[in-house]
Amino acid sequence: MNKINQLFSENKNQKLLSLYFCAGCPTLDGTADVIKTLERRGISMIEVGIPFSDPMADGPVIQDAATTALKNGMTLRKLFSQLKDIKEEVSIPLVLMGYLNPIMQYGIEAFCQSCVDSGVSGVIIPDLPFKDYQDIVKPVADRYDIRVIMLITPETSEERIRFIDEHTDGFIYMVSSAAITGAQKSFDDAKQEYFRRINAMNLRNPRMIGFGISNAQTLKAAQDNAAGAIIGSKFVTLLSESKDADEALDRLFEALAH
């Protein structure tokens, strides 16, 4: 069974926590250490960012991390090599998050094969049009048992959400707002209503809520309304500041307690 499906089937009542960081930041060779540290500290799933020069869905924090990673020399090929080296040591799901351009240049088939070879269970491609997903990417990904995770926002129609739910597997990435990534202090009434509305749809796929989670209030709201929460910008900031995954996690857990 794909590790993503296994995670959700085995943790139906547990509030999961997934963290995002950008491969190659803060250091080129630190990616494996960050992943192993996060797993050791109880993180449920890890999103590893593929650095790209034009990350349109990302706020300044993740853009800066991608710039640093590219300057450090991180490439998709190098990332796969690093992940392959620790494949046997990592048991939690790894999801690559990246934009379409570098993946198309790598080649969809080659990309999926490299995912299998390096222990990657899924991929999030924010700028992948759904029709291209269905016609081009999904047939190949299905053959390699790679989950392609789709995003929904407060602006996504119910019809579209049901269509995504019907044609994807793994989980749905529920973006808390239509804005770019970045920490928020709280989720307003409109966002809470959005969470309740999606809950009431009784979708087939589990959902993870991301974008803006940085404290106890936003974490609780996400975990109360979905299978779990995804934290990106807050952890990326702490990792960039501390240069040490353990210290960054200590500071993150402290922030999430308040």
How far is it, in rounded angstroms, from Cα 113 to Cα 123? 13
Core vs surface per residue 102-113: b (16+ CB within 10 A) or e: bbeebebeebbb
Q: In the chain, what is the straight-line distance between the N-terminal and C-terminal CA atoms, in Å?
A: 37
Q: Are 202 and 238 in contact (CB under 8 A)?
A: no
DSSP tally for the chain: helices H, then strands E:
13, 9
Nearest to 113 by CA among 71, 144, 76: 144
Q: With DSSP H G I counted as helix, E B as strand and the rest as coil, what are the percentages for the chain, rounded to 5?
A: 50, 15, 35
Q: Are 13 and 227 in contact (CB under 8 A)?
A: no
Whether 47 sits among the annotated catalytic residues: the reply is: yes
The first and second tokens of residue 187, run together, are 């989720």
- The residue from 10, 29, 33, 47 that is catalytic is 47
Whether 54 sits among the annotated catalytic residues: the reply is: no
- The residue from 33, 39, 54, 58 that is catalytic is 58
How far is it, in rounded angstroms, from Cα 26 to Cα 21? 10
How far is it, in rounded angstroms, from Cα 138 to Cα 136? 6
Amino acid at 226: A
Residues annotated as part of the active site: 47, 58
